[in-house]
């Protein structure tokens, strides 16, 4: 039994608290023109782990960088809201000075390549201590002591020695732990992990994910985990958001979504990347290619690659529909949780107005 399944079976998981992040109808434009993120809405609650999955180019990282206020040059939030419910703030309106009070203190971040976020000419301890002094307001000696404590807390052996090391003297897994220590040093309420374990070997990946889990359980940290690996989501996320071509196409409790995917894209992802390594066989792919970022299509953006597509799928926009079990899916023919086929559900949906419950 997996760690997550065992924890849920014992009923020891702490109930989630209030929402710490609310994203509402977020639109992000790219330099090539058009919206690469289109009407994305979701929440993350205190202590909750939410997975954001999809192929490369689906809009996962742009969504997260909008939450962090660090969009690439030429990209911009063109609509919607990124809110902090506790303060009522809309982060899309924040200036650089206002963001300085959010990053580190309210929202922390860990990215895929930790070495690129560390200064090679300074020791990792100096960099963490500097962050504690600037963001946390600690005096020099206290910042040094706290940095060593944090290195120990994230599982770095001989933390006092690590404090004196330069980035090039540490392994990728150690550098990722340094970055995590920096991200949580000022006790943020939300940690955004954007492909934070992708470049690590499986053993180190498992250790980092266990560290995330411990931070959640010990401090009530909320986690937004961006990944393309459904096995990681299955083991570590309470809820999953599936993105395709800039839109959320399915959302719901992780176990339910992975056991009975409602959207054909989720179904295809599971088919080509089994969450159970024992079931993996020959390499499989989803036929076709995703649309260009920002491309404006008349209907379902997955229709050209979907085995169930029919003419009405491309006739007009497809809204997220709420299924009987509470999940949402952006499909005219979703599979229901009770195993009804797509045709049966489609017949019911056809007699309801657009946007109504399927």
Compute the distance between CA of residue 71 and CA of residue 77 in angstroms, rounded to an integer. Answer: 8
d(C-alpha 182, C-alpha 187), whole Å: 10
Q: Judging by DSSP bridges, how do beta strands 328-329 and 321-322 pair with one another?
A: antiparallel
Exposure string over 300-330, b if 16+ CB within 10 A, otherwise e: bbbbebbebbeeebeeeebebbebeeebbbb
Q: What's residue 344's pLDDT? A: 35
Tens digit of pLDDT at every position of the chain (358 positions):
333 444 343 333 446 778 999 999 999 999 988 899 999 999 999 999 999 999 888 999 999 999 999 999 999 999 999 999 988 899 999 998 899 889 888 999 998 888 888 999 999 999 999 999 988 889 999 999 999 999 999 989 999 999 999 999 999 889 999 999 999 898 899 999 998 887 778 888 888 888 888 888 887 899 999 988 888 899 899 999 999 999 999 999 999 999 999 999 999 998 877 555 555 555 567 888 888 887 888 899 999 999 888 899 999 889 999 998 889 999 998 765 444 555 433 333 333 333 333 3
Q: How far apart, in whole angstroms, are the C-alpha atoms of residue 306 and residue 297? A: 15
Look at residue 245 in the predicted model and tell me its pLDDT: 93
Q: What pLDDT does residue 211 have?
A: 86
Is the C-alpha dihedral spanning 55, 112, 199, 257 positive or negative?
negative
Residue-level pLDDT at 170: 94
CA distance 90 to 26: 12
Q: Where are the domains of the chain?
A: 115-187, 263-350
Q: Is residue 222 within 8 Å of 21, Cβ to Cβ?
A: yes
Q: Is 124 helix (H, G, I), strand (E, B) or coil?
A: helix
Cα(68)–Cα(302) distance, integer angstroms? 28
Nearest 5°: phi and psi at 143? -65, -40
Q: How far apart are CA 7 and CA 3, in angstroms?
A: 6
**Per-residue pLDDT at 358:** 31
Q: In whole angstroms, what is the distance from residue 287 CA to residue 117 CA?
A: 36
pTM for this structure?
Answer: 0.84
- HEC states along 293-322? CECCCCCCCCHHHCCCCCHHHHCCCCCCEE
Identify the pLDDT of residue 6: 40
> In the chain, which ranges are continuous DSSP H helix?
3-10, 60-68, 96-99, 124-134, 140-153, 159-163, 172-183, 202-219, 230-236, 254-259, 264-272, 342-350
Q: How far is CA 144 from CA 108, 153, 154, in A?
A: 20, 14, 16
Q: Are 179 and 116 in contact (CB under 8 A)?
A: no
With a CB cutoff of 8 Å and minimum separation 6, the contacts of 9 are 1
């Amino acid at each position: 039994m997996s760690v997550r399944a065992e924890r849920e079976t014992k009923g020891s998981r702490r109930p989630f608290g209030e929402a710490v992040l609310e994203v509402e109808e977020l639109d992000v434009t790219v330099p090539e023109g058009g919206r690469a993120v289109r009407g994305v809405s979701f929440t993350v609650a205190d202590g909750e782990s939410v997975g954001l999955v999809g192929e490369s180019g689906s809009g996962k990282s742009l969504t997260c960088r909008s939450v962090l206020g660090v969009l690439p040059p030429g990209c911009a939030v063109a609509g919607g809201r990124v809110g902090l419910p506790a303060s009522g703030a809309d982060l899309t309106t924040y200036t650089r000075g206002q963001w300085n009070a959010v990053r580190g203190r309210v929202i922390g971040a860990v990215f895929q390549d930790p070495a690129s976020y560390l200064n090679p000419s300074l020791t990792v301890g100096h960099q963490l201590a500097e962050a504690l002094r600037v963001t946390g307001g600690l005096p020099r000696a206290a910042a040094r002591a706290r940095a060593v404590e944090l290195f120990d807390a994230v599982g770095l052996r001989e933390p006092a020695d690590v404090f004196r090391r330069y980035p090039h003297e540490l392994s990728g897994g150690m550098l990722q732990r340094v970055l995590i220590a920096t991200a949580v040093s000022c006790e943020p309420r939300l940690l955004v992990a954007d492909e934070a374990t992708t470049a690590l070997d499986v053993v180190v990946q498992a250790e980092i994910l266990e560290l995330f889990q411990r931070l959640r359980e010990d401090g009530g940290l909320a986690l937004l985990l961006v990944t393309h690996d459904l096995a990681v989501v299955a083991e570590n996320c309470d809820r999953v958001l599936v993105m395709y071509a800039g839109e959320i196409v399915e959302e719901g409790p992780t176990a339910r979504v992975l056991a009975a995917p409602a959207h054909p894209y989720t179904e295809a992802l599971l088919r080509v990347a089994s969450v159970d390594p024992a079931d993996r066989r020959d390499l499989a792919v989803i036929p076709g290619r995703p649309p260009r970022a920002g491309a404006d299509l008349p209907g379902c953006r997955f229709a050209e690659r979907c085995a169930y597509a029919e003419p009405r799928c491309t006739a007009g926009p497809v809204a997220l529909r709420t299924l009987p079990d509470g999940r949402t899916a952006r499909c005219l023919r979703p599979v229901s949780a009770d195993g009804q086929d797509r045709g049966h559900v489609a017949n019911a949906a056809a007699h309801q107005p657009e946007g109504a419950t399927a």
